[in-house]
Amino acid sequence: MSARAALEQRFHQLLSANGGALSRLAASYTNNPSDRDDLFQDIALAIWKALPGFRGESSERTFIFRIAHNRAITYISQRRPSATPADEVELPDPRPNPEKGFAREQQESRLFDAIHRLPIEYRQVITLTLEDMSYAEIAAVLGIGESNVGVRLNRARQLLRELLEVRQ
């Protein structure tokens, strides 16, 4: 097998193994399905571009998630002026909504909506945690200290809980 074919195969394997997680990551940055697809594609192409330069300094998973987050940040900074500041999280209207059912889909959508409302620094930490990443991996992906990951995760969980409770 030529080096090029091997690279292609590696790229496909990476996307097959992490496609779902990357897709969820893209969805956490944008509500619009077509924007999500565009962002996912941007991420995939950025990984592909960076893959030949990967020398195994970190795990492949950390490597691709770091690229994905960088791409996503660039993407949203081009689309809107700034992310919601941490102290300006808008809580939804607490009044009951008669149209809301109890289906599983809506439950998932509720969690997704709540995550999407989190300020970006908390959203990043919680989404990576929900993808089964350790503190060390999250710290490597986001370029912050592990203690900082813990602080952000606690705050993210607290905010997420509040958002989900208010929405019930």
Partner 1 sequence: MKDDELEGWRREWQAQPAVTMELIRRVERETVTMRWDRFLLLAPAAVALGTTVIAALNPRIDAIVFAAGMWIFMAASWRFLVQNRKGIWGPSSETTAAYLELSIERCRRKLKDFRFGRVLSPFITAFVLAGVWQGMASQGRLESAEGYWILGAASLFTIGVVAFAISAQNQKRKQTEAELEYLLDLQRQLKEGGR
Q: How far is the CB of 111 from partner 1 (least distance, A)?
A: 5
Q: Which is nearer to partner 1, 124 or 127 (CB)?
A: 127
Binding partner 1 (rule: CB under 8 A), the pick from 30, 62, 124, 129 is 129
DSSP label of 95: S
Residues 91, 125: Cα–Cα separation, whole Å: 20
Distance CA 159, CA 168 (A): 15
Task: Say whether residue 57 binds partner 1 (CB under 8 A).
Answer: no
Could you give the angle at the alpha carbon of 57 between the alpha carbons of 41 and 127, nearest 5°?
A: 45
51 makes contact with partner 1 (CB under 8 A):
yes
Residue 15 engages partner 1 in binding (rule: CB under 8 A): yes
Scanning 11-19, 80-88, 94-102, 117-125 for contacts with partner 1 by CB under 8 A, the matching segment is 11-19
Cα dihedral value 104, 91, 29, 103, nearest 10: 10
Q: Mask: binding to partner 1, 66-95, rule CB under 8 A, as x and -?
A: ------------------------------
User: Which of the residues 28 through 47 are near partner 1 (CB under 8 A)?
Assistant: 36-37, 40-41, 44-45
Residue by residue, what is the 3-state secondary structure of 22-60? HHHHHHHHCCCHHHHHHHHHHHHHHHHHHHHHCCCCCCH
